[in-house]
Structure 1
Amino acid sequence: MTTPPPNRKTIYLVGTTGHPNYGDEHIAACWLRHLAEREPEAEVWLDCPNPGPSEVLLGDLHPRVRFTDTLWRICWHAGSQEPWQVASFARDAIRNPGRAPRWVAGIVVAARADVVHVVGGGYINGIWPHHVGLLAAAVAIREHSGARLAMTGQGLTPLPSEAQPLLRTLSTRFDVVDVRDTPSQDMLANVPGVTATGDDLFFGIAPHLYRQGDSLDSPEVMICVQSDLLSMSVASLAGFVLETLRRWKVPSERIGFVEGMPLVDREVFALLEHELPGARFYPFSDVMDAGLPANSGQRWLSTRFHTHLVAAAAGAAGTALAIDADYYTNKHGSLLESGSGWSLNTDLSVSVATEPAGGFDPATLDSLRSAKAELAARIY
């Protein structure tokens, strides 16, 4: 293990990259690009669940970025998923690395951080309650090194009521607290200085996110639907998508399916591809390499939050399909509140409009991006 020169800043990012997932990768990417411009000489670490795949996907975005999974492993091996117990173990492990002897070297790196930044996403909430330990570990790092703490673009709901006081208490120890939706802001209403600038990916909206040069040949209708975290069966979702496409009377060769998470977002397409000859499938790897095939002339159906965001930012119209009553409904609702212009379908028994509206107004998008830039300036 090498120690950086004493005058070199150590910036410690925490994110959920490498699974991989379209939104999580691009959120981390936008912060790494910012740091490459703002802090090119800093030692940057990204603590994430899958550091190997993350390095392959993101390793060229900052000249000194390295990848680890120390804080995630502490949360996984706390002996419980109950937030209070995980938080206690995480703080103990940072203060006394002997509590987690397999990861002492990683804890030493984390504990020398000058900045700890928990980047955006919806991974600290009641769906994964043990992830609250990430915030607790950050607080313990601050107690050790005096690090500046930031969390940005966080989606913190749903969260069990018994864990909410813990989350609020940990949040008060952060210098910058920013969330992406109204319910998260309401939960932290008594935490001083909380902002709600929306999802962190607004900071990264730029031409490189989009497929270039073939917009005239891009499908008229785009679909991004998942098979995980559903409150209905995959078959029910597939049937709804097929019947919607039949009502829209779009030739199947003018339909495209996008994979935001490998395999998980291919299951519905696999059920429908024989009914839709000529429909195109854009795998995750292709979307990451060549960009999202989104433009202002399209109609979209999406269960995925970040394809909703990025497609609407391109001016595409669409309908978001809520696959549960809380988590995804809230996520998509935050984009509607921000001005995506899409409709939200929360009931698969209700038909989707033949001509959905939407697309972010350019001035609105500029305002959202500017708010993120101001937030970045507060941190770095």
Structure 2
Amino acid sequence: MSSKNRPLYYLVSTAGIPNLGDELIAATWLRYLAETAPDADVVLDCVDPAGVVAMLGGVHPRLRTMSVLWQICFRNWSEGVRTQGIAESLVADPSLAGDLREGVELLRRADVVHLTGGGFLNGIWPAFVGLLAGIATATEHSGGVSAVTGVGLYPAIAGAGDLVVDLASRFSVADVRDEASAGLLGEHGRYSCDDVFLSPGAWLGEPRGETPEVMVSIQSTRPPSTLFPPASALEGEARLSREEQARAVRSDQGMGMLVGFFAKTLAEWGVRDIGLIECWPDVDRRALDLAGSLAPNVRRYTLDEVLRDGFPAAPGQTWLSTRFHPHLFAAAAGASGVAVNLMKGYYDTKHRSLIEQGSSWSLAHYRPFSRRQEIPERPTSGGFTKESLAVLRARKLLVAEQIYGGR
């Protein structure tokens, strides 16, 4: 519990899924606060405290984890955007919050409440407007700073675009990571970049012998709506519909075809020295197991290994990635790559944001169940330049200072 003389910073983060990008976004902000505010009390309101990777525990000396705003959203998942009103009511009157009361009261006392970045505030998961509503209500009560940073808002929530804009207008800082999201918020938002650009080099691994010539990041082809929230976060109400279950089965069939597309691409490139990186173990396990057959001796990098030893990218490598944060980190290390888009309006928006910011990667569009897949050429253009990374870090640093500067 914070003292009267010690600031209380309350971070709301997707850590605890666990998933590589979400863990490192949380770690990025915790590291920043450890350097700039080591004596502050820091709360990490996350998807599942038990699922948070242990490395986060030592990043800030006064960190505690809990799940409060996330639980409000999960427990009212079927309400969709109506979770806004529920969150506002519970935060306005903690006596209504039941077992979450202590956490809500802590939220209402925070000097800063900061929703960290990611691609979760959109039409795929409309119930997460409750996060914005809860934060706005809490800081309007306390007079604290309300911030949301590095988020992607596409695909937009159908018929509720004004709601997101109205909620953002109640924030002290509303920062997004792509131009499309900035266009949605208009004058109420600012456009910088993904949160990990605050210190991307901090998460790159030191060279440990030879790294594979080509690295692969491949994920499940299941629709995003069936992947989140994780099963561990569900409280009995949120369950997959029969239609969603059927789509999940079809996408599992498509996973083999995606791996086949990767295999044809790598064969066309004449590559046999391959590394395979794990980002979301629970969801991607089947795709990763299938991808183990891409070459006779595929080296697999587990999530725990990557978080412990650093991201295994280096200049001169080539990457083939469906996931966003491997694109970001590999390009930050100077590696060339092809980003593979699995979903128009979501994954392509994310990957294009990095390309437009200077990643130098190309974008390939995978078409599920199509026999006419165009094999991308092997790139040699490298990744982000040092100058581009410096510009992006400066953008994010300005956002951080606007939130925490002088506190």
TM, length-normalised to structure 1? 0.94
Do 1:230 and 1:323's aligned partners in 2 also have CA atoms closer than 8 Å? no
SS of the residue 2:78 aligns to: coil
SS of the residue 2:193 aligns to: coil
| Corresponding residue of 2:236 | none
Deviation at 1:356, TM superposition (A): 4.7
Do 2:361 and 2:379's aligned partners in 1 also have CA atoms closer than 8 Å? no
| Corresponding residue of 1:115 | 112
The 3 A distance-change label for structure 1 pair 343 and 98 is: same
The 3 A distance-change label for structure 1 pair 265 and 195 is: same
Do 1:27 and 1:204's aligned partners in 2 also have CA atoms closer than 8 Å? no
SS of the residue 2:9 aligns to: strand
The one-letter amino acid of 1:353's match is: E
SS of the residue 2:215 aligns to: strand
The 3 A distance-change label for structure 1 pair 274 and 152 is: closer
SS of the residue 2:395 aligns to: helix
Deviation at 1:230, TM superposition (A): 4.8
Deviation at 1:40, TM superposition (A): 1.0
The 3 A distance-change label for structure 1 pair 272 and 260 is: closer
Query: Are 2:275 and 1:246 equivalent residues in the alignment?
Result: no
The 3 A distance-change label for structure 1 pair 40 and 249 is: same
The one-letter amino acid of 2:12's match is: V
Distance in 2 (CA, whole Å) between partners of 1:144 and 1:106 is: 15
The 3 A distance-change label for structure 1 pair 123 and 171 is: same
The one-letter amino acid of 2:20's match is: Y
| Corresponding residue of 2:36 | 38
Alignment of 1:71-86 (within 5 A): 71-78=69-76, 80-83=78-81, 85-86=82-83
Q: Which runs of 5+ in 2 are unaligned?
A: 225-250, 368-372
Deviation at 1:55, TM superposition (A): 6.2
Deviation at 1:100, TM superposition (A): 2.1
The one-letter amino acid of 2:300's match is: F
| Corresponding residue of 2:8 | 10
Deviation at 1:266, TM superposition (A): 3.7
SS of the residue 1:278 aligns to: coil
Query: Are 2:168 and 1:171 equivalent residues in the alignment?
Result: yes
Distance in 1 (CA, whole Å) between partners of 2:175 and 2:386 is: 23
Do 2:362 and 2:379's aligned partners in 1 also have CA atoms closer than 8 Å? no
Query: Are 2:206 and 1:212 equivalent residues in the alignment?
Result: yes
Do 1:229 and 1:323's aligned partners in 2 also have CA atoms closer than 8 Å? no
Query: Are 2:137 and 1:126 equivalent residues in the alignment?
Result: no
Distance in 1 (CA, whole Å) between partners of 2:54 and 2:123 is: 30
Deviation at 1:267, TM superposition (A): 2.4
Distance in 1 (CA, whole Å) between partners of 2:318 and 2:57 is: 34
Do 2:338 and 2:379's aligned partners in 1 also have CA atoms closer than 8 Å? no
Query: Are 2:273 and 1:234 equivalent residues in the alignment?
Result: no
Alignment of 1:43-82 (within 5 A): 43-54=41-52, 56-78=54-76, 80-82=78-80
The one-letter amino acid of 1:26's match is: L
TM, length-normalised to structure 2? 0.88
| Corresponding residue of 1:358 | 382
Query: Are 2:364 and 1:345 equivalent residues in the alignment?
Result: yes
Q: Which moved more, 1:70-79 or 1:163-172?
A: 70-79
The one-letter amino acid of 1:200's match is: D
Distance in 1 (CA, whole Å) between partners of 2:223 and 2:295 is: 23
Distance in 2 (CA, whole Å) between partners of 1:14 and 1:147 is: 15
Q: Which of 252, 261, 286 is the equivalent residue of 2:280?
A: 261
Deviation at 1:79, TM superposition (A): 6.2
Query: Are 2:111 and 1:106 equivalent residues in the alignment?
Result: no
The number of aligned residues is 371
Q: C-alpha deviations, 1:83-140, integer Å up to 9, x for none? A: 1x10000000011123221211111111111101111111111111101100000011
Deviation at 1:274, TM superposition (A): 3.8
SS of the residue 2:283 aligns to: coil
Please, what is the CA RMSD of the aligned residues? 1.6
SS of the residue 2:376 aligns to: coil
Q: Which moved more, 1:217-226 or 1:263-272?
A: 263-272
Distance in 2 (CA, whole Å) between partners of 1:11 and 1:338 is: 30
Do 2:216 and 2:277's aligned partners in 1 also have CA atoms closer than 8 Å? yes
Q: Which of 328, 336, 339 is the equivalent residue of 1:317?
A: 336
Distance in 1 (CA, whole Å) between partners of 2:111 and 2:222 is: 36
The one-letter amino acid of 2:150's match is: G
The sequence identity of aligned pairs, in percent, is 42
Q: Which runs of 5+ in 1 are unaligned?
A: none
Deviation at 1:344, TM superposition (A): 0.3
Deviation at 1:17, TM superposition (A): 0.4
Distance in 1 (CA, whole Å) between partners of 2:346 and 2:43 is: 29
Deviation at 1:262, TM superposition (A): 1.1
Q: C-alpha deviations, 1:232-281, integer Å up to 9, x for none? A: 61011111001111111112xx1100001114334233224345211111
Q: Which runs of 4+ in 1 moved over 6 A?
A: none
